[in-house]
Amino acid sequence: MKIAFVVGTRPEFIKTVSLIKECEKRKINYFIIHTGQHYSYELDTLFFEELHIKKPEYNLNVGSSTHWEQTGKMMVGIERILVEERPDLVLVQGDTNTVLAGALSAKKLGIKVGHVEAGLRCYNIFMPEEINRRLTDHISDFLFCPTLTNRDNLIRENIDGKNIYVVGNTIVDVLYENLELSKKKGEKIMNEIGITPGNYFLVTAHRQENIDDKKTLINLLRGIENIQKKYDLPVIYPMHPRVHGSINKFSIKLLGNIKIIKPISYLESIYLQKYAKLILTDSGGIQEEACILGKPCVTLRENTERPETVDIGANVLAGTNPQKINDSVEKMLYAGTWKHPFGD
């Protein structure tokens, strides 16, 4: 059997690593196609180095552009490689443009597609990720769902149950494997920033719908500034380049003790999550990691494709309204404990 992994963005590098390592262990023939959707050192090479992933056999270097230009360029490149390599299976993970491009290219060539993290739904069809995950699920031959909720979503959409496997989320493997290893880098970055365990809030936000709209972004940032002032604790915000772009474009000034740092590595990220007082995020992966780490999470979105985290009391949806962010943080600071739903 020959497997092609199609990856292109930071979360895919992280979440496929356990599958890649498993292929190596079982001596399964595989190769990696990197679309080049992410290319900055901090969003790309850093993860290959830190997680010891071999250099991809192919890199399409598509870079940033509009959704369809980017997705189109990926498909042209992926098709060429698949025609030559003829793998038995293409594996894609998650909901990015890279995922949709990989799945569509393979399917049209009659190559089987496996979707890892299938069946997630936030039911906001205006989100690019929701479009990508729906389309990918409906053309996949193997649907690997993290939870039973995800399976139910697919069944409701008339996807054949015999193609669905509930397998947990690969982030659990990656997180457990790296938590111990994160100590050295984690302590170093905490010293550099000047923070101590339990005495800071961690923020990550980079979603198109939060960042590209001026009013929404200002609301989100004011909400975070209020939390910083109210609890008199620093807020650590590792910033995706997309957010820098918007802050400059809209000439927004950040007030208070908000420490903007460059995007961090995976080991730094899990360490800072583990010791944060609370996490505020619009990232899907961080909602999962916070939940697995037992850390209260406030999600800066109106909806989530990870409702399991909300149902068990690990997460609350705040959106970007400053008052709602305030109330959600207040509530989650008194959150209890829970057993995470993402498998072992």
The DSSP 8-state label assigned to residue 277 in this structure reads S
| Binding-site member from 18, 35, 93, 97 for ligand UD1 (CB under 6 A) | 97
Count of residues that bind ligand UD1 according to CB under 6 A: 19
In angstroms, the Cα distances linking 247 to 77, 83, 256, 294, 299 are 33, 43, 16, 32, 21
d(CA 113, CA 125): 23
182 binds ligand UD1, rule: CB under 6 A: no
- Nearest distance in Å: CB 148, ligand UD1: 24
Annotate each residue in 190-209 with x if it binds ligand UD1 (CB under 6 A) or - if it does not, as one string: ----------------x---
With CB under 6 A as the contact rule, the residue among 3, 9, 105, 113 that binds ligand UD1 is: 9
Cβ-contact 160, 183 below 8 angstroms: no
Nearer to ligand UD1, 40 or 326 (CB): 40
What is the closest distance, in whole angstroms, from the C-beta atom of residue 296 to ligand UD1 in the complex? Answer: 21
CA distance 12 to 15: 5
Candidates 6-14, 79-87, 135-143, 269-277 — which segment interacts with ligand UD1 by CB under 6 A?
6-14
To 5 degrees, how large is the angle CA 118–CA 268–CA 331? Answer: 70
Residue with tokens 């698949």: 82
* From candidates 29, 61, 64, 191, binder to ligand UD1 by CB under 6 A: 64
Residue 59 touching ligand UD1 (CB under 6 A) = no
Token pair recorded at residue 217: 């972004």
> Which of 206, 200, 278 has its CA nearest to residue 234?
200
Residue from 222, 242, 259, 331 touching ligand UD1 (CB under 6 A): that is 242
CB of 334 to ligand UD1, least distance (A): 29
Among 28, 31, 40, 152, binds ligand UD1 (CB under 6 A): 40
Q: Which is nearer to ligand UD1, 44 or 50 (CB)?
A: 44
How would you classify the pairing of strands 29-34 and 235-238?
A: unpaired
Task: Give the one residue of 24, 214, 245, 333 binding ligand UD1; rule: CB under 6 A.
Answer: 245
How far is the C-alpha of 125 from the C-alpha of 185, rounded, in Å?
39
Q: How far is 65 from 154, CA to CA, in rounded Å? A: 31
Catalytic residue numbers? 206
Measured in degrees and rounded to the nearest 5, phi and psi for residue 166 equal -90, 115
By CB under 6 A, name the binding residues for ligand UD1.
9-11, 37-40, 43-44, 64, 95-97, 128-129, 206, 241-242, 245
